[in-house]
Amino acid sequence: MTQSSKTITASALRGTASGVIFMAVFGTLWAYTGIMGLEGLGGPLLLLTAVAIGIALISCGVSLIRATGELTNQVSKEDLRRGKRRRVWFNVIFAAEGLAIAITIAVSNVTRHTELIPVLIAIIVGVHFLPLASLFHVKLYYFTGALLCLLAISTLLFLPAKISLGEHQINTFMSVVGFGSALILWGTSLAIWLMGRSLKYSTIK
C-alpha cells in the first residue's frame, strides 16, 4: 500500500457512508410524503419504487462501511478533538432543526394552515444543510440546502395548495415538495457515495 493509504482513515470513510445512508433514509421519507399527497393516486407501485431506491442507496453506504476494514484507524489527537467538536455541533444543529420543525407544526395547527407544513419543513431542512456544509467541509451541502429552499419557496409562490385530477384531489404542496425533496436528497446521497467510492479506490490502490 502506498503513502496515499493514509489520506483517508476508516473513521472518515464511515462518516461519508453515514452521510450516504442518512440522505437515503430521509429521501425515502420525503418520497412517502409525496405519495401521501397524491391521495391514493399511483398506489403501492410508487411506494415500492421509493423503498427500492432507498434500499439501493443504503446498500451503497453499507459498501463503504465494509471497505473501512482495508484502511487505517490511526488518527491524531487533534483529529480526535476535531471529531468530537463536530459531533457536538452536529447534535446542536440537529436539535435546533427538530425544535424548529416542532414549533412550525404546532403554529401551523393552531393557525389552521396545516397545508404549509411540508413547505416550511423543507425550508428548515434546507437551511440546516448550510451550517453542515461548513462543519463537515462538504460544499455539496450548500447546493442541497439551496435547492431544498428554492423548491419549497417556488412551490409556495407559484402552485396552488391543492389541485383536482379526475376524481383525485392532490395535495400539491405535499406532493411537489415531497417528491422534489426526495430527488434532491437521493441525488446528494448518490453524489456522496461516488465521492466516497473515489476516495476509497484512490486510497487502497
List, in order, residues 6 or more apart from 173 with CB less than 8 Å away: 37, 115, 116, 118, 119, 155, 156, 159, 161
Cβ-proximal residues to 17 (8 Å cutoff; 6+ apart), any chain: 61, 62, 64, 65, 68, 196
| Per-residue model confidence as pLDDT tens digits over 52-102 | 999 999 999 999 988 776 655 556 667 678 778 888 999 999 999 999 999
C-alpha cell at 97: 432543526
Whole-model pTM: value is 0.89
Alpha-helical runs (H) found in 38-168: 43-67, 77-110, 117-136, 140-158
Note every long-range contact of 44-49, with CB atoms under 8 Å and residues 24 or more positions apart, other chains counting. none
**pLDDT single digits (tens) 174-196:** 999 999 999 999 999 999 999 98
